[in-house]
Amino acid sequence: MSAGRILVVDDDPQIRRVMRVTLTAQGYEVSHAKSGEEALERLHGENYDLVLLDMNMPHMGGIKVCRTLRCGPLGFELAIIMLTVRDTEKDKVDALDAGADDYVTKPFSIPELLARIRAALRRVPADPGLELQRIKLEDVEIDFSSRKVTGPGRDVRLTPKEFDLLSYLIAHPNRTLSHRELLRAVWGADYGDEVEYLRVFVSRLRWKIEPDRDKPRFLVTDAWVGYRFCLPK
């Protein structure tokens, strides 16, 4: 049984070859694209679970591909990992802000990449102690059983990782959750120091569910410590 379908998008043929051999040996079904344009064509015609996306391709780069996917009808179910030789905090934030779930700097070790793939594909199970099946935040309703969020006359589209983060916060209401706890709960045990991930993801969630993202009422920052979900009364 397949561990998942992965599309490798990179203009370097050697990297595409190594990825195919490595990932196939781990039980994944692997396809590849050598450009952003080819990747979008494949993704509109085939179903994948995860995209490994080179950030620095010519013509249509990884950032533009990622934004295009996240704005389209197919991109919200995908896990996306950005691959790049750049490792500044700005580059990481740009990748995450474009909609990536994770960011890996080249050169990387194979065990590290495999761990990142598993983290991107993992889903946080529903908390059995969570009594709420639905919750309303002003005009936004969250249905935990179907993993859907709706607003007035529209679907509020969250990526799987966005939904996992929001669900974990809501499952522990009115309590400050540390950066490390949130990262390990949502991304996995190998995470804990990637605070920029949380800054970007919480910002994206505020855009989608807060009545006023500049004055958040539900997703509150506790400076230097973590985040807290304030359960509406």
172-213: pLDDT as tens digits:
999 999 999 999 999 999 999 999 999 999 999 999 999 998
Tell which residue, 35, 117, 47, 113, has the closest CA to residue 75: 47
- Euclidean distance between CA atoms 39 and 189, whole angstroms: 31
- pLDDT computed for residue 1 by the predictor: 67
Tell which residue, 157, 182, 171, has the closest CA to residue 78: 157
The one-letter code for the residue type at 208 is: K
Tell which residue, 122, 160, 156, 119, has the closest CA to residue 136: 156
CA dist 119 → 38, 50, 183, 186, 202 (Å) = 26, 11, 11, 8, 18
The answer to whether 75 and 103 are in contact (CB under 8 A) is: no
The partner residues of 102 in beta bridges, in order of sequence, read 81
- pLDDT computed for residue 3 by the predictor: 84
What residues contact residue 47 under an 8 Å CB cut-off, 6+ apart? 5
Tell which residue, 144, 140, 152, has the closest CA to residue 219: 140
- Euclidean distance between CA atoms 68 and 135, whole angstroms: 30
- Euclidean distance between CA atoms 217 and 194, whole angstroms: 24
42-65: pLDDT as tens digits:
999 899 999 999 999 998 999 999
How high is the mean pLDDT of the chain?
91
Q: Per-residue pLDDT for 128 more than 70?
A: no
The partner residues of 9 in beta bridges, in order of sequence, read 33, 53
Q: Per-residue pLDDT for 97 more than 60?
A: yes
- pLDDT computed for residue 76 by the predictor: 75
The answer to whether 214 and 222 are in contact (CB under 8 A) is: no
Question: Which domains does the chain carry?
Answer: 5-121 (3.40.50.2300), 134-229 (1.10.10.10)
Peptide bond into 107 cis (omega under 30): yes
